[in-house]
């Protein structure tokens, strides 16, 4: 669950499942599960159920929900329809006090969820951006809000030197470091993306659909790379192994939904 960068990671998992011949057609029980949990996602104002559901040969199922900022009803929907929740909100927050408040609100619910055997909640760091800056000191956050707007029409991503003081991740580390949410795990991502300033889409003007036709400089999203996303998947598995997800749950989400307790 998260923004478009998180969706890139999800798309990678889809591709890897297909490449390794692990992806299988949806079973009848999977279709029933999706229908049974859809009302959870229709309670809030956005009413956007997850998309791109995938089932693999081992029986694992996954789906992606596009959520750019914290919505309480969508947090409830996520923990009501999954045994493992991986999420990120960050890039769409410009006001850090609001981000901090939303993180604390969501972490309280995620902590209770992740404390149960067989459950896990992971919060992914916000990735690095590499927008060109006009700061003569050489200090550059890479953030879109601090970009040199003259580069919008002549796109040029650049190295980021923010001395590891990313504003959004600083708030995230502060919240998780408070000790109030010991079962919510941090998934590293920023340092993986920080040196990869040449890996962005870059100039995306003149797209076929006409969106941002004359100005589009994308120093946020990354071109597909098995090496980069493979390293991130390795981190994900390492973090999951440190959670209680390997323990046998009293009842899986599938069993709960099947008996009509969703």
Q: Where are the domains of the chain?
A: 4-128+164-196+224-258
Residue 15 CB-density burial (10 A; 0-12 exposed, 13-18 middle, 19+ buried): middle
CA distances in angstroms from 32 to 43, 44, 145, listed in the order given: 19, 22, 43
Predicted pLDDT of residue 156 = 80
Q: What is the mean pLDDT of the chain?
A: 87
Tokens 């700061």, located at residue: 135
Strand 120-124 versus strand 84-87 pairing type: parallel
Predicted pLDDT of residue 70 = 93
Predicted pLDDT of residue 213 = 59
For helices 167-176 and 96-114, the axis angle rounded to 10 degrees is 40
At residue 47, φ and ψ (nearest 5 deg) are 50, 55
> Which residues of the chain fall short of a pLDDT of 50?
none
């Amino acid at each position: 669950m998260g923004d478009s960068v998180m969706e890139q990671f999800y798309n990678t998992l889809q591709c890897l499942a297909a490449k390794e011949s692990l992806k299988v057609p949806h079973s009848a029980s999977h279709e029933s599960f999706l229908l049974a949990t859809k009302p959870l996602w229709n309670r809030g104002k956005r009413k956007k159920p997850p998309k791109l559901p995938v089932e693999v040969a081992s029986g694992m199922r996954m789906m992606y929900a596009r959520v750019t900022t914290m919505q309480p009803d969508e947090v409830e929907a996520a923990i009501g329809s999954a045994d493992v929740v991986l999420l990120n909100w960050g890039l769409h927050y410009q006001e850090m006090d609001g981000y901090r408040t939303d993180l604390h609100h969501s972490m309280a619910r995620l902590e209770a969820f992740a404390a149960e055997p067989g459950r896990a909640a992971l919060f992914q760091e916000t990735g690095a951006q590499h927008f060109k800056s006009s700061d003569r000191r050489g200090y550059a956050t890479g953030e879109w809000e601090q970009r040199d707007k003259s580069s919008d029409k002549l796109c040029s991503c650049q190295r980021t030197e923010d001395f590891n003081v990313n504003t959004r991740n600083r708030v995230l580390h502060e919240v998780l470091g408070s000790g109030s949410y010991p079962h919510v795990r941090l998934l590293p991502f920023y340092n993986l993306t920080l040196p990869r300033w040449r890996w962005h889409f870059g100039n995306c003007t003149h797209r076929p659909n006409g969106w941002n036709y004359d100005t589009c400089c994308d120093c946020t999203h990354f071109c597909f790379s098995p090496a980069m996303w493979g390293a991130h998947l390795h981190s994900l598995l390492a973090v999951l192994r440190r959670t209680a997800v390997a323990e046998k749950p009293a009842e899986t989400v599938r069993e709960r939904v099947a008996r009509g307790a969703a």
